[in-house]
């Protein structure tokens, strides 16, 4: 079952930003910041952000590769392995 994110008003964030950042560092769970009772922003640790960005980039690459396969633009595994072997052989020479 997914964990519900912590929710804090922007006024609480302003009053004690350091404590909020410390909670982020320990929990790695995002914090939803509200303004006038509505979600306005999401605050997350830099580690969580970087991990999310890496995952997003990987998913975009996979989607692009899947589209290339659908469009018959991909490369065969044998071709890729041969190119990799050639690159590795040239590096070690």
Q: What is the pLDDT of residues 24-63, one digit of tens each?
A: 888 889 999 999 999 999 999 999 999 999 999 999 999 9
Tell me which residue range forms the domain holding 75.
Answer: 48-92
Q: What are residue 5's phi and psi, to 5 degrees?
A: -70, 155
The reported pLDDT for the residue numbered 4 is 78
| Mean pLDDT score across all residues of the chain | 89
Average pLDDT over residues 76-82: 84
40 and 52 inside one domain: no
In a domain, 81, yes or no: yes
85 and 63 inside one domain: yes
Rounded Cα distance between 20 and 18, Å, is 5
In a domain, 1, yes or no: no
The reported pLDDT for the residue numbered 50 is 94
Task: Find all residues with CB under 8 Å of 32, minimum gap 6, and list them.
Answer: 5, 6, 7, 8, 39, 41, 42, 43
pTM: 0.63
User: Is 75 or 82 the better-scoring residue by pLDDT?
Assistant: 82
In a domain, 73, yes or no: yes
35 and 54 inside one domain: no
């Amino acid at each position: 079952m997914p964990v519900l994110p912590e929710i804090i008003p922007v006024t609480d964030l302003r009053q004690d930003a350091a404590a909020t950042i410390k909670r982020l560092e320990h929990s790695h769970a995002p914090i939803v910041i509200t303004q006038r009772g509505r979600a306005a922003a999401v605050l997350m640790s830099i580690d969580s952000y970087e991990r999310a960005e890496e995952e997003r980039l990987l998913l975009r690459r996979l989607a692009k590769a899947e589209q290339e396969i659908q469009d018959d633009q991909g490369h065969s595994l044998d071709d890729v392995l041969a190119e990799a072997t050639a690159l590795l052989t040239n590096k070690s020479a």
